[in-house]
Structure 1
Amino acid sequence: MAEHQQLAGIMTDTSSRRIDLPLIDHHCHGLVETELSDDEFRSLATESDWPGPAGTDSLDSPFGLAVRRLCAPILGLEPLVPIDEYLAQRRNIGAGAANRLLLRSTGTTEFLLDTGIPDARLLDPTAMAACAGARTREIVRIETVAEHLASESTAAGFVSRLPEALADRSREAVGLKSIIAYRHGFDIPAERPTGREALKAADEWFRAATTTGTFRITDPVLLRFGLWAGIDTGLPIQLHTGYGDVDIELFRADPSRLTSLFRATRSLDIVFMLLHCYPFVREAGILAQIFPHVYLDVGLVSHYLGPGSGTAVRQAMEIAPFSKILYSSDSYGLGEHYAVSAANWRTSFAALMDEWVSSGWATPKDAEKIATMVASDNAKRVYKLDA
């Protein structure tokens, strides 16, 4: 019994916020360091781009409860204070100080930042490292590199130069990310597009850009072309799956639609990281069990599910090998996202491990090993962070 009780302490101690199990957040974004109005805070507290109808509030939500329950004590308030009191305290402390307190409460030693979101308010990796008191590494977004190259190239130049441009841009990165789920969906052919197919699609894209004045890559051939250029780098490729912002057509973001791609790439020296996965967590777990180069996490919903986040954690642990599951937060903008994700993951994982130990399915040593794998060791191995 003493060993069993000690395990929960390794995972989390909410009374003192003592954290003994280091986390590596293998997918997240930068913080917004500027002072936020209450409306701006509420906007960042949801994946929707649209204001809610009269009489509703994005913080009357599982995430809002989690902010009041988990973040209020970090900022010196009692748990579950009214949200207006919390926001007032945040303003009094200042965004910079509040973010430092929130990030440093997570016990995260490394953050792998997707830097592809075009939001000038977001801290870059260097500034994030200073704020968090932790190491940061970069995840390069494939579509962002493609769009930047297109803006200074011709259609033929784009096709010929993208593989080299992506390799150069990611030389210091530890991984790549694709948002093909947002821009088209996973119902794509598994094969690499031919040069002729890529050039035809690029010609059409460039002609359209002369009218729109912008390069936003949505053509499925060009998205596949970029994805295969990413495969050629040999870096881990993160794929957004499932729930996300308003661009998502959810049924197209089901990772099981990628089965043919995983078959086609199984013998290559590449790994795919299925991000978030909700509500397709079980589908992602099955893929991770079947395919040796597929991994998953349940980031994003680790904060948005609030008190229900344990459901996603449990589903992730149902069938996937423990060596294939990683911790991430997919935090964006708000320090509260980081703090809630870490606390929810620790609490949910500790409860699950305690249950396994008390029911005789694992020893305390087993549980500690599994928790450490998911919290950090799997990320170290897959992203070669110790190299």
Structure 2
Amino acid sequence: MSTETSAGRACRDLVDAVELIDHHCHGVITGNPTAAVFEDLMTESPWPAPAGTSGWDSQVGLGIRRRCAPVLDLSPDRSPEDYLARRAELGASEVNRRLLGFARLHTLLLDTGYRGDDILDVPGMAKVSGAETHEIVRLEAVAEQVAAAVGSGAAYPEAYRAALASATADAVGLKSIVAYRYGLDFAPGRPSEAKVAERAAAWLDEIERTGVVRLTDPVLLRFGIWCGVDLALPLQFHVGYGDADVDLVRCNPLLMTAWLKATRESGTSVMLLHCYPYHREAGYLAQVYPHVYCDVGLAINYTGARSAAVIAESLELTPFHKALFSTDTFGLPELYYVGAQLFRQGLAETLAEWVDGGHASVADAVRIGEMIGNGNARRVYQLG
């Protein structure tokens, strides 16, 4: 017998009806992945599971089997091998169409700065998903494009500003991966033009010597961030959980406090992505600083059956008008579908608990669900 309360049913129904704006995501692949490639795309680790084990033995693996298999006409208790065989039988185009369609996402804000040649771009994602799709420009990707073309360090500052202005002509936001390339403990102040030119010259020399175009210089990273602030577009930061490139101890958003104080009146909204296991710290920053927003992003997929607890914890301090939804999907349409389902379920459970406990009314829950699902993203990113 079901133990769901009337409040639980009401909250589930209302959250199920909410339009979702995925404010941070990537494109999906267009081919049929091998078993190894599929497992690689299921995890943030760059290394395969130990011999004799499988990446399917994880929360995200369970989520895909239990939730996605029925969409592909399989029972949810089938093996990973059966799932991949059925996936190949249907073909990538049909799998993408089904899973993205059933995810019921109204709008996608697509980070195009990572492995763009391997996945669908903005028009491609709009076509396959049926969702409105807009671009988020990655600051470091623009810097690396400029470095490959600029003639001197002295020319770099102005060349970067011009390239960033051009790249964002039709974009709705920016993103920085300074957490991956240095850490969130970067110096808060704006670097001088002379210092930027000096560091750019050294970077160009390094590129010529090694052939590797990868921005890691903290001065140039900080310069890019401040150029982003000058454009007054929402500026996303990767925070917390990610792949092995990050030093997680330096991904705590509290390390950005001095910079957040310096940008409070800049007109730029700061969007803290993922945040786990620092989602409570991010909630504190969102509560205290008027220009800070946060989500729990890819943590929803990777915590799976426990994601409702993460969602609830993220809303302990975060003002409801500061929380957003995202999946951070890359490559696999399964991550869009599972992420959307887990988010709807977790948010509904959280709101139902509040209503049952007398902490909120059903009308409150409706408003909160709409804000987090789409209203906050519409407002911050100025989506028409």
What TM-score range do you get, normalising by the shorter chain?
over 0.9
Q: 1:237: Cα distance to partner?
A: 0.3
- Name the counterpart of 2:165: 167
How does 1:1-387 map onto structure 2 within 5 Å?
2=6, 4-12=8-16, 20-153=17-150, 154-386=152-384
1:156 and 1:247 map into 2 onto residues whose CA distance is 30
| Maintained 8 Å contact 2:377/2:383 | yes
Question: 1:173 and 1:160 mapped to 2: Cα distance?
Answer: 20
Q: In structure 2, what residue type is equivalent to 1:213?
A: G
Aligned-pair distance for 1:385?
0.2
- What is the aligned-residue identity percentage? 44
Supply the distance in 1 between the matched residues of 2:317 and 2:7 (Cα, whole angstroms): 26
SS in 1 for 2:118: coil
> Whole-Å Cα distance in 1 between the matches of residues 58 and 285 of structure 2?
31
Aligned-residue offset at 1:325: 0.2
What SS is found at the alignment partner of 2:87?
A: helix
Label 1:375 to 1:308 Cα distance change in 2 as closer, same or farther (>3 A).
same
Q: Residue 189 of structure 1: CA displacement?
A: 1.2
Provide the rounded CA distance (Å) in 2 between the counterparts of 1:211 and 1:180.
24
Residues 135-168 of structure 1, C-alpha deviation per residue, up to 9 Å, x if partnerless? 1000000000011011110211112221122111
Aligned residue pairs, count: 379
- For residues 334-381 of structure 1, give each alpha carbon's deviation from its aligned partner in whole angstroms, at most 9, with x where no partner exists: 001101100000000001111111111111110011011000000000
Task: Give unpaired runs (5+ residues) of structure 1.
Answer: 13-19
Unaligned runs of 5+ in 2: none
Question: Quick one: which amino acid aligns to residue 101 of structure 1?
Answer: R
Q: Distance in 1 between matches of 2:6 and 2:298?
A: 34
Larger mean CA deviation between 319-328 and 203-212 belongs to 203-212
Q: Is the 8 A contact 1:34 1:121 kept in 2?
A: no
Equivalent residues of 2:113, 2:141 under 8 A apart: yes
Deviations 1:152-186 (A, max 9, x none): 10211112221122111101000000000000001
How far off is 1:108 after superposition? 0.6
Shift of 1:33: 1.1
Give 3-state SS (helix, strand or coil) of 1:204's partner. helix
Q: Name the aligned partner's letter for residue 167 of structure 1.
A: A
TM-score of the aligned structures, taking structure 2 as reference length: 0.97
Q: Distance in 1 between matches of 2:214 and 2:11?
A: 48
Q: What is the rounded CA distance, in whole Å, between the counterparts of 2:77 and 2:216 in structure 1?
A: 43
Q: In structure 1, how many angstroms separate the alpha carbons of the residues matched to 2:364 and 2:10? A: 13
Distance 2:242 2:170 in 1: 28
Which letter maps to 1:58? G
1:155 is paired with a residue of what secondary structure? coil
Partner SS for 2:154: helix
The Cα shift of 1:21 comes to 1.5
Deviations 1:14-48 (A, max 9, x none): xxxxxx21100000000011111111111111111
Deviation at 1:2, TM superposition (A): 4.5
> Per-residue deviation at 1:3?
5.7
- Asked if 2 retains the 8 angstrom alpha-carbon contact of 1:21 and 1:107, the reply is no
Q: Distance in 1 between matches of 2:181 and 2:251?
A: 10
Q: Distance in 2 between matches of 1:168 and 1:280?
A: 34
Deviation track 1:44-103 (CA, whole Å, cap 9, x = no partner) reads 111111122212211110000001111111111122322211111111111110111111
Aligned with 2:327: secondary structure? coil
Q: TM-score with structure 1 length normalisation? A: 0.96
Task: Report the Cα distance in structure 2 between the residues aligned to 1:310 and 1:7, rounded to whole angstroms.
Answer: 14
Amino acid at match of 1:6: A
Matches of 2:15 and 2:91, distance apart in 1? 29
Query: Given residue 58 of structure 2, which amino acid in structure 1 is its aligned partner?
Result: S
Question: In structure 2, how many angstroms separate the alpha carbons of the residues matched to 1:164 and 1:228?
Answer: 14
Letter in 1 for 2:22: D
SS state of the match for residue 77, structure 1?
A: coil
Residues 199-237 of structure 1: CA deviation (Å, up to 9, x unaligned) = 111111111111111321100000000000110011000
CA distance in structure 2 between the aligned counterparts of 1:357 and 1:223, rounded to whole angstroms: 45
Task: Tell me if structure 1 keeps the 8 A contact 2:154–2:198.
Answer: no
> 2:304 and 2:195 mapped to 1: Cα distance?
45
